[in-house]
Amino acid sequence: MKFIVSSSALLKQLSAINGVVTTNPVVPILENFLFEIKDSMLTITASDLQTSMITEIHVEAKEDGNIAVPARILIDTLKNLPEQPVTFSIDHDTYAVEISSDNGRYRLAGENATDFPKIPTVSNPTTVDMSTEVLASAISNTIFATSSDELRPAMTGVFINLSDTNTTFVATDGHRLVRYRRVDIASGSPASLIIPRKALNLLKSTLPSENISVSVEFNQSNAYFKFGQIKMICRLIDERFPDYENVIPADNPNIMTIDRQDLLSSLRRIAIYANKTTHQVRLKLTGSELMISAEDLDFSNEANERLSCDHDGEDIEIGFNAKFLVEMLNNLSCKEVSLKFSAPNRAGLILPAEQEENEDILMLVMPVMLNNYV
């Protein structure tokens, strides 16, 4: 089997799906790309058993065939070749792959394509379409709050709930929670699913910069994303997601509105002086003044800053993990944020002072018990 393809065009397609390939996979052949040629169309597949990505590229080929090609050595070779047509020659008896360029030949050991795991298909799917812009925004606004605790697998992914009026994306690690809702995406048949963090990270890095439509299909076990030349199939997390709505406090009489960037910059400075284990910062609201302070008793470090804000409600003092606050504020893009509190031992809410059209973002962060320093 032989085919000719542009080196840079092939590298672009391989780079898009290379993130799936792991260094020490459970099945050794998964260190390879699966190449399949049919009617001069090269289909390339990468998989780690949980997530698979597929892309296509036109090539010059006179016959059909398939081969598994080592991913790392192939990508490293193409990265160091200037743009030119390259010829792949495959010996189906030995599975040897020879790449010929203008001034060189490179020989690598392939593997039998039939040993590559079969990619699952999504049967009887629920289907919904959304733009790459919406999907990228949903992933960016939630994925940072997912848990890395494998003992609570439901929290290691993003929960998606489709209804006939909106679609809600939720992530939590038990200390913070993000709910991102879109009213411009809806489904005639209500459904819910949990997509693993790795699959969403791969999706985010692969989504094109231009705003195109993404087709999403899913059933009880797998989800399927298709956009441009890329397809991604991932296994869903088969767990029950926590009842997040009951965690969100309904009555929050203390509301503070403040410039997001000012608050973020202040927290970054104050966090330097916080305890390196708890990362605790103290927010003290008195009238229209917010005092942010932190202290590390082990090293006698302390700092405080005052910011002006709009405050409606009683004076309150509450402690939070500075790392969580910084990360949440950093993931918002609005000019001003509203922080809502009910009591020092209850969760605080962070949301844009003015929501963007078609979206509703709510972030929740659990308090940290205050140390008794002055």
Phi-psi domain of 300 (left: phi exceeds 0; alpha: psi -120 through 50; beta: other): left
Is 38 among the domain residues? yes
Per-residue pLDDT band at 189 (split at 50, 70, 90): confident
8 Å CB contact between 336 and 270 = no
Kindly report the average pLDDT of the chain as a whole number.
Answer: 94
Per-residue pLDDT band at 204 (split at 50, 70, 90): very high
First to last CA, the chain: 77
Q: Is residue 142 predicted with pLDDT exceeding 70?
A: yes
Tokens of 52: 């698979």
What does the pLDDT read at residue 374? 35
Residue 72 shares a structural domain with residue 157: no
- In angstroms, the CA 205 to CA 162 distance is 24
The mean pLDDT value for 109-138 works out to: 93
8 Å CB contact between 172 and 142 = no
Residue 133 shares a structural domain with residue 105: no
Per-residue pLDDT band at 370 (split at 50, 70, 90): low
Q: Is residue 113 predicted with pLDDT exceeding 60?
A: yes
The mean pLDDT value for 151-158 works out to: 96
The mean pLDDT value for 116-133 works out to: 91
Is 373 among the domain residues? no
Is 374 among the domain residues? no
Measured CA to CA in angstroms, residue 105 lies from 35, 88, 285 at distances of 19, 10, 70
Give which of 42, 34, 48, 56 is closest to 2, Cα–Cα.
Answer: 42
SS3 263: helix
The mean pLDDT value for 187-191 works out to: 87
| Percent with pLDDT over 90 in the chain | 90
Residue 236 shares a structural domain with residue 262: no
Residue 161 shares a structural domain with residue 242: yes
Q: Which of 246, 262, 291 is the last residue of a domain?
A: 246
Q: Which of 230, 246, 262 is the last residue of a domain?
A: 246
Instruction: Please give the residue range of the domain that contains residue 176.
Output: 126-246
Domain count across the chain: 3
Q: Is residue 239 predicted with pLDDT exceeding 70?
A: yes
Is 121 among the domain residues? no
For strand 105-109 and strand 126-131, is the pairing parallel, antiparallel, or unpaired?
unpaired
Q: Is residue 45 predicted with pLDDT exceeding 50?
A: yes
Q: Please name the residue that has the structure tokens 């009238």.
A: 287
The mean pLDDT value for 12-38 works out to: 95
8 Å CB contact between 106 and 36 = no
Q: Is residue 369 predicted with pLDDT exceeding 90?
A: no
Lowest mean pLDDT among 30-34, 189-193, 270-274, 291-295: 189-193
DSSP per residue, 325-363:
HHHHHHT---SEEEEEES-TTS-EEEEESSPPTTEEEEE
Q: Is residue 373 predicted with pLDDT exceeding 60?
A: no
DSSP per residue, 124-144:
S-EEEEEEHHHHHHHHHHHGG
Consecutive H or E run containing 199: helix 197-206
- Domain with residue 258: its CATH number is 3.10.150.10
What does the pLDDT read at residue 10? 97
8 Å CB contact between 350 and 337 = yes
Q: Is residue 339 predicted with pLDDT exceeding 50?
A: yes
Residue 102 shares a structural domain with residue 22: yes
Q: Is residue 91 predicted with pLDDT exceeding 90?
A: yes
- In angstroms, the CA 202 to CA 17 distance is 8
